[in-house]
Chains A and B, each alone.
Chain A
Amino acid sequence: MALVGKQTWEFTNGVYVQSTGTAVGPTEKEGPLSGTFDFSFNNLHCDEENWELAERALMRKAIQICIDKSGKTTDDIDVFLAGDLLNQNITANFMARELQRPFLCLFGACSTSMETTGVAASLIDNGYANSALAATSSHNSTAERQYRYPTEYGGQKPDSATFTVTGSGCLLLSREVTSIKVKYATIGTVQDLGIKNPYDMGSAMAPAAAYTIVQHFKDTNSMPHDYDLIVTGDLSTVGAPICRQLVKDEGYDVSKVYDDCGLLIFDREHQKVFSGGSGCGCSAVVTYGHLFQEMNRGTYKRILVVATGALLSPTMIQQKESIPTIAHAVVFEST
């Protein structure tokens, strides 16, 4: 492994995606990417007693599918990296209690998907692990309950709000050559341009995404046309065009290859999801499901996934602080 430029890790020894697992809730199942998920629950409770258990069920399912597909067993996993949106990362930590594998818990809000993938890839590339499992999850109701109001509370949300994706994505990385290779990871810095509205996280996160994308281009000496797709995690209808403009201001026009997972996962015409999907689960299930399928089909050869995270805290919002945000990018290549 080598540090390229200022913030980018190049995985020089070959890190490959062995298998992936995705599990989602009912709203995601009704969306346009329905057929790309490995498993979907038909109720938001995921057949569990409470929301927190429901989210854990999602992650358990995703991990189970991922391990099953790889043909390995849990014992073969050298390190497990996971994170979610909840206080004390309870989904990840309690899942690790079940898995009993060496465990690193990471939190980067909705950027956790690429944070875990990037760190897992670096561990493998350096020989600290032969196979690493990276998982993230989010659940609409656990997120609502923690960051906003009780799920049944009749408050009105503005159109700039996003809809937290109920889903968990998991991937297993190792040195064994497969069809998808992890090439680079660009680690973001925390950006904050003063947005304080927790119902407009697209505006808050766009600068972080733009910063990481531009830094990635500089570090790797690449240009937008070197990618078949540059996709951000959950910038929504508000943040996605802002991000595109911010990147353009720095001299890179990504408009031809740019998209956003939060826009891909739902049909905003027919599903009441405000300005799009959000949450760690959003970029994870879209990337590990839909995008990898398209790579295997040959639609994309090289993609840059920029998971965007609003490091939001309800307490800090009430103390009138603005929202710090971060984005981590990972390059996946077809082999």
Chain B
Amino acid sequence: MEGKLKDNYKNEIKKYQPKPKVFLNCIRAFIVGGLICLLGEVITKMFIGYFGFTEKNAGNPTIATLVLLSTLLTGIGVYDKIGQYAGAGSAVPVTGFANSMASAAIEHRSEGLVLGVATNMFKLAGSVIVFGVVSAYIVGLIRYAYRVFF
């Protein structure tokens, strides 16, 4: 007689679980992430071409525009749908960061502006900032050490 499913549950049930669509998700992330970056590039060129920015300082208004767009899309309930389709493609760019803040702010509006919105806004984005700063610090140290010794 065959063994029972529960004897080796975690392994035996794998055949019932849907396979993660790793390849498809990568393709989708690549396309959507790429499109967001392309949009960023278009916006940068626009700031340089029409508003007199230079290659160097067009970055900030570009990011601000993308953040604004992402926040708007979050507010009208579209960004989460893009996120389900694109995964990392829409989570990694700055638009994903804006979405994590805007969605938390909207969600906690019912608990008031201070303890609701302000306190919870960085609930998801906080980890990005913490690890962003820490890793920047470490990379900075390595770069400094490299300069001093080589």
A residues touching B (Cβ–Cβ < 8 Å)? 49-52, 145, 149-160, 193-195, 200, 203, 206-207, 210, 237-238, 241-242, 245-246, 249, 272, 275
The answer to whether A151 touches B103 (Cβ under 8 A) is yes
Residues of the B chain whose Cβ atoms lie less than 8 Å from the Cβ of A237: 18
Residues of the B chain whose Cβ atoms lie less than 8 Å from the Cβ of A151: 80, 103, 106-107
**Looking across the interface, which residue of chain B has its beta carbon closest to that of A196?**
B10
B32 to chain A, nearest CB (A): 11
The answer to whether B13 touches A242 (Cβ under 8 A) is yes
Partner of B124, one of A50, A51, A153: A153
A160 to chain B, nearest CB (A): 6
> Would you list 9 pairs from A and B whose C-beta atoms are within 8 A, ordered by A residue?
A50-B110, A151-B107, A152-B75, A153-B99, A156-B86, A158-B18, A160-B18, A242-B13, A246-B4
Residues of the B chain whose Cβ atoms lie less than 8 Å from the Cβ of A272: 84
Residues of the A chain whose Cβ atoms lie less than 8 Å from the Cβ of B4: 246, 249
Which B70-123 residues have a C-beta within 8 angstroms of A? 74-75, 77, 79-84, 86-88, 90-91, 96, 99-100, 102-104, 106-108, 110
Residues of the A chain whose Cβ atoms lie less than 8 Å from the Cβ of B21: 159
A51 to chain B, nearest CB (A): 8
Flag whether B52 is at the interface (Cβ < 8 A).
no
Partner of B17, one of A157, A238, A246: A238
B residues touching A (Cβ–Cβ < 8 Å)? 4-6, 9-10, 13, 16-18, 20-21, 25, 74-75, 77, 79-84, 86-88, 90-91, 96, 99-100, 102-104, 106-108, 110, 124
**Looking across the interface, which residue of chain A has its beta carbon closest to that of B28?**
A156
In angstroms, Cα B86 to Cα A303, docked, is 42
Given A150-B106, A151-B103, A249-B4, check contact A156 B25 (CB 8 Å): yes
The answer to whether B84 touches A154 (Cβ under 8 A) is yes
In angstroms, Cα B4 to Cα A67, docked, is 47
Given A150-B106, A156-B83, check contact A249 B6 (CB 8 Å): yes
Question: How many inter-chain residue pairs (CB < 8 Å) link A and B?
Answer: 98
Q: Helix, strand, loop or mixed for chain A's interface?
A: loop
**Looking across the interface, which residue of chain A has its beta carbon closest to that of B106?**
A152
The answer to whether A203 touches B100 (Cβ under 8 A) is no
The answer to whether B80 touches A203 (Cβ under 8 A) is no
Q: Helix, strand, loop or mixed for chain B's interface?
A: helix
Partner of B82, one of A149, A154, A241: A154
In angstroms, Cα B106 to Cα A238, docked, is 33
**Looking across the interface, which residue of chain A has its beta carbon closest to that of B14?**
A203
- In addition to A153-B103, A154-B91, 5 A-B residue pairs with Cβ atoms within 8 Å of each other are A150-B107, A153-B80, A155-B80, A193-B6, A193-B10
In angstroms, Cα B4 to Cα A160, docked, is 23
The answer to whether A203 touches B106 (Cβ under 8 A) is no
B5 to chain A, nearest CB (A): 5
Indicate the member of B21, B80, B104 with the most A CB atoms within 10 Å.
Answer: B80
Partner of A245, one of B5, B91, B106, B107: B5
Residues of the B chain whose Cβ atoms lie less than 8 Å from the Cβ of A158: 18, 20
The answer to whether B13 touches A203 (Cβ under 8 A) is yes
Which 8 A-B pairs have CB atoms at the shortest separation, nearest pair first? A154-B83, A150-B107, A50-B110, A152-B103, A156-B87, A150-B103, A159-B18, A153-B103
Residues of the A chain whose Cβ atoms lie less than 8 Å from the Cβ of B86: 154, 156
The answer to whether A154 touches B107 (Cβ under 8 A) is no
Residues of the A chain whose Cβ atoms lie less than 8 Å from the Cβ of B79: 152, 154
A68 to chain B, nearest CB (A): 30
In angstroms, Cα B83 to Cα A237, docked, is 23
Residues of the B chain whose Cβ atoms lie less than 8 Å from the Cβ of A249: 4-6
Residues of the A chain whose Cβ atoms lie less than 8 Å from the Cβ of B107: 145, 150-152
The answer to whether B124 touches A152 (Cβ under 8 A) is no
